[in-house]
Structure 1
């Protein structure tokens, strides 16, 4: 019986929020600054970085009791983060209804980075979010991800960079 109540509470929590909550968390001015930071970051490496802020999981995910990680991996594919020449895309995913943070990096990048490095990025972002500093937390996470990408996939100097994916923040 406790499991039924737990699932019902989760369902209500996810249906209680909507995209307006994501928009309040990141107003247009913050989105614009973060998008500029993503574009600047991507000039220094060959990877692609995306930030996705989702208010709540879709009903189909809730009905099958899917985890935030499952949704983040699905969004990684849906946003075509895997579609990079060196398999070095990174998705920073926030699920507001559960205060969940997931970082999904493609296999080309994960060959060079251990899980503890990504966990440290998630922990820093989590602390910033608990303090209500969403934009600052995302900026720091972006800087950390960028440092990893620059270290392992630097943009060759003198070679124009092709941006294969849009730099906008995905709000759902």
Structure 2
């Protein structure tokens, strides 16, 4: 077990979330997702988790493993054309993960492109610019989706645009 990681997860609480993503920032993220989804056929879901639950920490769950779990729990896979993309932020680990459904990923988008979107966000976050980082990440994902269209747009806005806070 990584003791420092456990301490970070135990010490990061709701106060950190309110500081990094206050209600005004969450509303701005929702507006950015709505605007970006008008430019491509993908569905973006933005999820912020302050820290992992104790049981997940003890099992050594990685941010990527948690992102895959959240992808399923939030139903990002449940779109008509499998065109959902999850942007997952794990604050305690200072990590961003992107998980794209098979209609978007499926060999069409190199992992390095998604990784570049994550790095853009993480750079802003390191500098304390959380809202700007989230918006830059959403814009970067939208640009990837514009360059690699996931096919037809499904029914009107299949996934909610509002960010989820776990």
Q: CA–CA distance in 2 between the matches of 1:22 and 1:96?
A: 8
Q: Is the 8 A contact 1:19 1:54 kept in 2?
A: no
Structure 2 residue runs of 5 or longer lacking an equivalent are none
Determine which structure has the larger helix proportion and give its number.
1
CA RMSD of aligned residues (A): 1.8
Give the alignment partner of residue 165 of structure 1, picking from 114, 137, 159. 159
User: Does residue 138 of structure 1 match 2:146?
Assistant: no
Aligned to 2:110: 114
CA distance in 2, matches of 1:10, 1:148: 32
Question: Larger Cα Rg: Structure 1 or Structure 2?
Answer: 1
After superposition, residues 1-172 of structure 1 pair within 5 angstroms as 4=1, 6=2, 8-111=3-106, 112-151=108-147, 152-153=149-150, 162-172=156-166
Deviation string, structure 1 residues 121-168 (Cα, Å, up to 9, x no partner) = 111111111111111111111111112223313666xxx951111111
CA distance in 1 between counterparts of 2:162 and 2:104 reads 21
SS of the aligned residue for 1:153 comes to coil
Q: Deviations over 1:85-141 (max 9, x none)?
A: 221111111111111111111121112100111111111111111111111111111
> TM-score when scaled to structure 2?
0.90
Q: 1:148 to 1:120 in 2, by over 3 A?
A: same
Query: Any idea what SS the aligned residue of 1:13 has?
Result: helix
